C-alpha cells in the first residue's frame, strides 16, 4: 500500500479529524494537497462511472468482469482507472481465483461529503 492510500480519508477513524470542513477553516497546504489527490481521482468521467457502478451495486461488490463490458475501453485501461480510485482510498479490492472484486469504502465517501457540506457551518456556530 502506498503512502497516498493512508492519508486523509483512510479506513480508520483517526483520519476523520485530518481536515476541517470546507466552511469551517482554511485548509493548510498539506491538507489541500492530500484532498486534491482524491478530488483529482474523481475528476474523470470513466472513474466516476466506475465508482458509481461499484457503489450502487446491491451486495456491495462487483467483479471486474462485470465492469469492463460497460465501457468501450480495454481491460488494462479499466484496471488503470480502478487503481487510481484505489490509491485515492475510495475503493478496495480482493483477488478471488481468476477475478478481482471491488467495493467502495463508504467512510471515505462520507468524509469527503462532510468536508464539502456547508450545513456544518450552521451547526458549528449554533
The 95-114 contact track toward its own copies, x by CB under 8 A, reads: ---------x-x--xx-xxx
104 with 51: CB under 8 angstroms? yes
DSSP state of 108: H
Residue (26 or 76) nearer to its own copies, CB: 26
Determine how many CB atoms are found less than 10 A away from the CB of residue 110.
12
The distance of closest approach from Cβ of residue 97 to its own copies in the complex, given in angstroms and rounded to an integer, is 25
Q: Interface with its own copies includes 27 (CB under 8 A)?
A: yes
Selected range binding its own copies among 10-18, 36-44, 76-84, 94-102, rule: CB under 8 A: 36-44
Amino acid at each position: 500500500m502506498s503512502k497516498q492510500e493512508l492519508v486523509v480519508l483512510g479506513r480508520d477513524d483517526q483520519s476523520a479529524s485530518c481536515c476541517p470542513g470546507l466552511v469551517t477553516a482554511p485548509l493548510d497546504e498539506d491538507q489541500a494537497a492530500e484532498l486534491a489527490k482524491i478530488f483529482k481521482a474523481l475528476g474523470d468521467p470513466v472513474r466516476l462511472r466506475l465508482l458509481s457502478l461499484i457503489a450502487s451495486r446491491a451486495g456491495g461488490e462487483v467483479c471486474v468482469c462485470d465492469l469492463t463490458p460497460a465501457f468501450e475501453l480495454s481491460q488494462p485501461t479499466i484496471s488503470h482507472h480502478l487503481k487510481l480510485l484505489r490509491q485515492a482510498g475510495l475503493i478496495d479490492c480482493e483477488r478471488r481465483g481468476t477475478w478481482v472484486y471491488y467495493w467502495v469504502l463508504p467512510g471515505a465517501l462520507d468524509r469527503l461529503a462532510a468536508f464539502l457540506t456547508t450545513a456544518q457551518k450552521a451547526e458549528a456556530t449554533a
